[in-house]
Structures are given as structure tokens and as C-alpha cells.
């Protein structure tokens, strides 16, 4: 099929490249000519494992090109997939990029005779596609929905695994306005053999996406809430508690007597909170939408509140041990919201750095690839420096807080901490270190959900 993809962020570009690799003819559209040039020169504007290799292949094969010219792209394709950003701002989701994309497509449809399907892939609150997008398209094209197709096809791509998740989806959700829209969208995914296709209405597709992200975020906050209770009771370790819970066969079944360890249970772990470009924004947007509809969603709200408080709890525990944090040299191990990415959006590291600075500590932020991005949020100053060299950073430090479980950091041995630091205090924000072996080597250990 001939497909336009509007917006070349990580969702749009991954979608375009992966669909092109399945043999579709894809045109990626972006307003920024530098991004368009990069793509046409076979360079990925974002880092995502496997993406640039696949991009090279599909461009060389002639299956993908990028342009700033939305009109010619829409004119010459059968489907437009909208994958522009939907940030959270001013207390609710910002749909302005969706609005302008719909407007521009509608203007083209006004002149286009052939049937065209508009598919929203961006994460949007329920009713966006069948009210806002549909109305804009109808007003600008002078046509009625049905004359053009309308679909909502959410993405379930994890950063760092986006290509793999796209190529091997566990389900494909297609919300459709009518049967013709659905049949057209089905052809887009006809070569994704094993994945079940779920055919629902437009607003259900939108709701599935939010519910999925809010559930995973809630598992994390639930684990963190349990960790606080465990900290209040001495000699109860949240890690053991959650392990005891998730060995239930309903969470973790055995096949041929082997535990299958479903990915979902890795969200049932206590730590310093969730971050990234999706969970915080989506959970906030769902909560704001629900309130707008007249229902205050207390559990979703609690998920956010627990997550906001969690980084500060670590700082408070460190504060109570040291008495004061003023002028104490503290190393924050890891800045990105998870390993294998330089994305620091809503990363717990930002709250931790700010919290430490508010207590007048001397902070060193350490990360292999996320320092430049972090500096844009919190610039270096007299009390804050950054380093890629964790060994150098740890020299003479009073405490280290593990935020991002990068392999290099979780493999720092007790002896290394002991040799490098003054009187080492290790705050384990991810519960990856073994308390007893670190304590045996003379490292004071503070773990989430354990006293």
C-alpha cells in the first residue's frame, strides 16, 4: 500500500521504516527540513536500536522517502498515519499538533478524488478521533466521514525496543469508523502473521492505549506504596514480599516446570519511580480527561502522587542518616529514565538532583550517554557537575544513589565503593545490590522498601 506517515518522532519514524520493510511504499513527512534531509541521507534523527540499519535498507530499496510536502504525499498515497506529538501541558493533553495535521490533510482531501484513510497513531484521549479529528477533516475537506476512512491504531512501542515491538507485535488494535476503514487498515498489517487484530470502535482503541500505560504505571506505584509500608515495619523486605506474591501461578505460570517470567511482573518492583516520555504524560492526561468527564479517578491520581513522592523519600532517608546534606558530595548514578537510552524526560534523576540541590548538597550526575540532555534541564553550576566517569565521580564522595540500572553501575563491587568513597553510603534506588555482601565490605546500604 502507499502510506504517508506524518511526524517523524520515534513513533512515526519507526512506523514508517517498519511498514516500508514489509513492502509498503512509505512517505515520511516532517516540517523540519533538517530531519527530512537526514532521513533521505539514510541517517536516523533519533537513536533506536536497529532503526538506522533498517532505514538504509528501505531507502536503498526505494520503499521509503521523506519530504516536507504533505500535500503531494497525501495526494499520492492511500492512507495517512498521524504520529505527531501529544504533550501534556496546562493541565491537559495538548492536541494542537493533531489539529493542524488533520487540517492540512483535510485541505488536501478537498482536492483529492480517490478514497483515503486517515489513521491516528498518536496517543490521544478517548473521543479525539471521532469528534475533533473527524470534525476538522469534514470541515476542511467538504466531505463526510465515510467518503474518507477514519481509524485509530495505537502503538505499543517501548523506547529501545521499538523496532522489535513493531515487527513482532503482541496485538494490533484497529479502531475504525466503518468497515471500509477497517478493511483498508487490515491490509497495512497483512504481513504481521501471528498478531491478533482487534477490531473496535475509535474511542475504545484510544482507551485501550491509556489503560495499558496506566496499568503498568500503577503496578510500579503499587509496588512503591508497598515499599513504604515495608520500611515502616522493620525486617520486611519489599523485594521478598513482591517475589512471594508474583510466584503465584496466575502471575508467573510454569511451562515444562520452568517459570515463564512474564514481562509484566518486572513492573511489580519497588524503586525510585517511573519516568519517560509516556507513562507520566499519559497517566496525567487520562486523569485530567476523566475529571473533565465528571469523575475524579482516585487510583490513577494516587499512581501519580506516589510516583512524585518516591524520589524525595530516598533523599529523606539519606538526610536522616547524614544529619545534613549541606556540602556533602553525592553521586547520582544514572540520569536516563531507563538504561539503553539518552532520554531523560520525567526521569526520577531530575527530581533527585533538584531535591539534593535544595538541601545544598554537592552533586555529581553520572551517565554514559544522557548528560547532554540532562544539562539542558538542569545546567551545571557550582553545586552540580556531570561526569561520564563514575570512578572519578565516586572518589571521596559521601554517598551514591543508584537511579538508572546501567550494567556498569549495577556491577560496581562493594570493594570498589569502599576504595573510592570516604565512608560509603549506597542508596539503592532500584534494589539491584545485595545488601549483605555490600554491608560485609563496609558499605552502608539503604534500599527502597527495606530498613
Write down the residue that cell numbers 545490590 correspond to. Answer: 433
Provide the CA 354 distance to its chain's centre, in angstroms.
Answer: 22
Q: What CA dihedral angle connects 354, 360, 364 and 370, to 10 degrees?
A: 10
DSSP 357-421: HHTT-EEEEE-SS-HHHHHHHS--BTTEEEES-HHHHHTT-SEEEE-S--HHHHT--HHHHHHHS
CA quadruple 130, 136, 141, 145: dihedral, nearest 10: 10
The enclosing H or E element of 118 equals: strand 117-120
Spatial distance between the Cα atoms of 5 and 80, rounded to a whole number of angstroms: 6
Query: Residue 184 or residue 303: which is nearer to ligand UGA going by CB?
Result: 303
CB 272 within 8 A of CB 430: yes
Q: How many CA atoms lie within 13 A of 147 on its CB side?
A: 15
Q: Select 365 or 429, whichever has its Cβ closest to ligand UGA.
A: 429
Dihedral sign from CA coordinates of 327, 329, 335, 338: negative
What are 322's three cell numbers?
547524614
CA 24 to chain CA centroid, nearest Å: 27
Nearer of residues 88 and 267 to ligand UGA, judged by Cβ: 267
Cβ-in-10-Å burial (0-12, 13-18, 19+) of 390 comes to: buried
Binding site for ligand UGA (CB under 6 A): 123, 155-159, 213, 216, 220, 266-267, 269, 274-276, 278-279, 282, 337-338
Query: How far apart (Å, rounded) are the C-alpha atoms in residues 87 and 283?
Result: 12
Give the DSSP letter of residue 114.
S
Say if CB 176 and CB 242 are below 8 A apart: no
Between 76 and 204, whose beta carbon lies closer to ligand UGA?
204
Q: Is 321 helix (H, G, I), strand (E, B) or coil?
A: helix
Which of 115, 156 has the CB closer to ligand UGA? 156
Nearer to ligand UGA, 125 or 443 (CB): 125
C-alpha cell at 101: 495535521
Q: Measured from the CB atom, is 180 or 243 closer to ligand UGA?
A: 243
Beta carbon nearer to ligand UGA, 30 or 155? 155
Distance CA 160, CA 164 (A): 9
Q: Least distance to ligand UGA from the beta carbon of 445, Å?
A: 21
- Output the smallest distance, CB 48 to ligand UGA, in A: 10
Q: Are strands 329-333 and 258-259 parallel, antiparallel or unpaired?
A: unpaired
Respond yes or no: is residue 278 known to be catalytic: yes
- Cα–Cα distance, 235 to 167 (Å, whole number): 45
Whether 161 and 169 have beta carbons less than 8 Å apart is answered as no
CA 324/CA 126 separation, integer angstroms: 48
Q: Which residues are catalytic?
A: 278
Amino acid at each position: 500500500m502507499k502510506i504517508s506517515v506524518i511526524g517523524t518522532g520515534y513513533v512515526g519514524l519507526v512506523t514508517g521504516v517498519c511498514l516500508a520493510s514489509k513492502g509498503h511504499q512509505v512517505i515520511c513527512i516532517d516540517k523540519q527540513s533538517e530531519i527530512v534531509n537526514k532521513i533521505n541521507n539514510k541517517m536516523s534523527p533519533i537513536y533506536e536500536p536497529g532503526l538506522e540499519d533498517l532505514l538504509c535498507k528501505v531507502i536503498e530499496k526505494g520503499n521509503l522517502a521523506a519530504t516536507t510536502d504533505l500535500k503531494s504525499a497525501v495526494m499520492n498515497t492511500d492512507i495517512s498515519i498521524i504520529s505527531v506529538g501529544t504533550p501534556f501541558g496546562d493541565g491537559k493533553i495538548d492536541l494542537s499538533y493533531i489539529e493542524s495535521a488533520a487540517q492540512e490533510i483535510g485541505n488536501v482531501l478537498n482536492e483529492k478524488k480517490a478514497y483515503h484513510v486517515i489513521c491516528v497513531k498518536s496517543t490521544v484521549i478517548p473521543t479525539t478521533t471521532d469528534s475533533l479529528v473527524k470534525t476538522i477533516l469534514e470541515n476542511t475537506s467538504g466531505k463526510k466521514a465515510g467518503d474518507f476512512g477514519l481509524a485509530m491504531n495505537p502503538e505499543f512501542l517501548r523506547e529501545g525496543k521499538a523496532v522489535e515491538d513493531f515487527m513482532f507485535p503482541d496485538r494490533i488494535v484497529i479502531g475504525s469508523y466503518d468497515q471500509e476503514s477497517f478493511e483498508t487498515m487490515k491490509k497495512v498489517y497483512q504481513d504481521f502473521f501471528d498478531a491478533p487484530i482487534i477490531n473496535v470502535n475509535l474511542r475504545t482503541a484510544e482507551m485501550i492505549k491509556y489503560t495499558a500505560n496506566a496499568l503498568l504505571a500503577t503496578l510500579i506505584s503499587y509496588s512503591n506504596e508497598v515499599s513504604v509500608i515495608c520500611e515502616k515495619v522493620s525486617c520486611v523486605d519489599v523485594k521478598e514480599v513482591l517475589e512471594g506474591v508474583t510466584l503465584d501461578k496466575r502471575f508467573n505460570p510454569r511451562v515444562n516446570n520452568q517459570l515463564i517470567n512474564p514481562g509484566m511482573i518486572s513492573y511489580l518492583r519497588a524503586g525510585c519511580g517511573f519516568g519517560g516520555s509516556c507513562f507520566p504524560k499519559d497517566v496525567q492526561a487520562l486523569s485530567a480527561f476523566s475529571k473533565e468527564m465528571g469523575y475524579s479517578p482516585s487510583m490513577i491520581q494516587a499512581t501519580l502522587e506516589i510516583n512524585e513522592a518516591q524520589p524525595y523519600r530516598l533523599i529523606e532517608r539519606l538526610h536522616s542518616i547524614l544529619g545534613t546534606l549541606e556540602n556533602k558530595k553525592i553521586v547520582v548514578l544514572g540520569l536516563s529514565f531507563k538504561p539503553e537510552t539518552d532520554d531523560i524526560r520525567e526521569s526520577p534523576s531530575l527530581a533527585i538532583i533538584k531535591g539534593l540541590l535544595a538541601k545544598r548538597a554537592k552533586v555529581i550526575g553520572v551517565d554514559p550517554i544522557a548528560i547532554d540532555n540532562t544539562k539542558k534541564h538542569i545546567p551545571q553550576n557550582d553545586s552540580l557537575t556531570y561526569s561520564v566517569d563514575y570512578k572519578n565521580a565516586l572518589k571521596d564522595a559521601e554517598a551514591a544513589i543508584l537511579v538508572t540500572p546501567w550494567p556498569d553501575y549495577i556491577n560496581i563491587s562493594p570493594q570498589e565503593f569502599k576504595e573510592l568513597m570516604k565512608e560509603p553510603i549506597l542508596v539503592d534506588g532500584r534494589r539491584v545490590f545485595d545488601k549483605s555482601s555490600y554491608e560485609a565490605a563496609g558499605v552502608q546500604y539503604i534500599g527502597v522498601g527495606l530498613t
